[in-house]
Amino acid sequence: MPDQTATNPIARRKFLRNVISGAVAGAAVAGIDVALPRTLLAQTPLTPDAALRELVLGNERFVNNKLTSIEHDLRILKEHTVEKQEPFAAVLACADSRVPVELVFDQTIGHIFVTRVAGNIVTPEIIASLEYSIAVLGVKVLVVLGHTSCGAVKAAMKVDAVPGQISALYPHIQPAVELSGGDFGKAISNNAKLQANLLRISSTVVRDALKAAKVRVESGVYDLANGKVTLHA
């Protein structure tokens, strides 16, 4: 009989699970500390609180260099997401190359719906994208993620002359700058908070989902130095 694990994704998944379980059991006998790969599937029904908790736990693994998302069978994940996507979370992040969202939360293909723009600002296009993630994809938590040393916020604070359309970012960030008292760190934090609140009040889709307790909208700041995401209370 031909080996079905080579052609059947479900059989392959079961086979890999058995192999991993056996390896972990053997390692445990030998006294070796082994971290099990995450078994969370993006489409797993989560409550908004549980979805946020999953992001928090993922960031803890990232900070402690104990990533588990890299252990996922990427071929199976790709096959599963060819025709559909079922992420459990959405993140509005800055376009900064130092903020790899999936890595920061130790998630993999199909788990997070990511939108990115310099300064993690809310624009009509960003609202439309995030409304899609809630209304169509059913994400359970939406996080606006600022980060330390944000160049967009720094530029908005200085209001220097810049080429092209870069200065178009400034008006979106200026309210946070005005509340910061000249403190760069506060301006970054304020900006994430204000953008999250803007999503809550300017989108009927987000507002209705919040009222129905179908989603949580949170904000926080990613520390480039230590990798930790600090969510706002």
Q: Where are the domains of the chain?
A: 1-34, 40-231
Q: What secondary structure, in 3-state letters, does 15-54 show?
A: HHHHHHHHHHHHHHHCCCCCCCCCCCCCCCCCCHHHHHHH
Instruction: For 148-206, write each residue's pLDDT tens digit.
Output: 999 999 999 998 888 999 999 999 999 999 999 999 999 999 999 999 999 999 999 99
Whether pTM > 0.95 for this model: the answer is no
Q: What is the C-alpha separation between 171 and 113, in angstroms, rounded?
A: 26
pLDDT of 67 higher than 90: yes
* Whole-number pLDDT of residue 119: 98
What is the C-alpha end-to-end distance of the chain, expressed in Å?
58
| Cα 111 from Cα 69, distance rounded (Å) | 10
Residue 40 has pLDDT above 60, yes or no: no
Do 191 and 221 meet the contact criterion of CB atoms below 8 Å apart? no
Q: What is the mean pLDDT of the chain?
A: 86
**Would you state the pLDDT for residue 45?**
85
Q: Is the pLDDT of residue 221 over 80?
A: yes
Three-state SS for 62? helix
> Phi and psi (nearest 5°) for 111?
-95, -35
The predicted pLDDT at position 6 comes to 42
pLDDT at 70: 87
CB 188 within 8 A of CB 148: yes
Helix (H), strand (E) at residue 55: helix 48-63
CATH number of 40-231: 3.40.1050.10
Average pLDDT on 72-94 reads 91
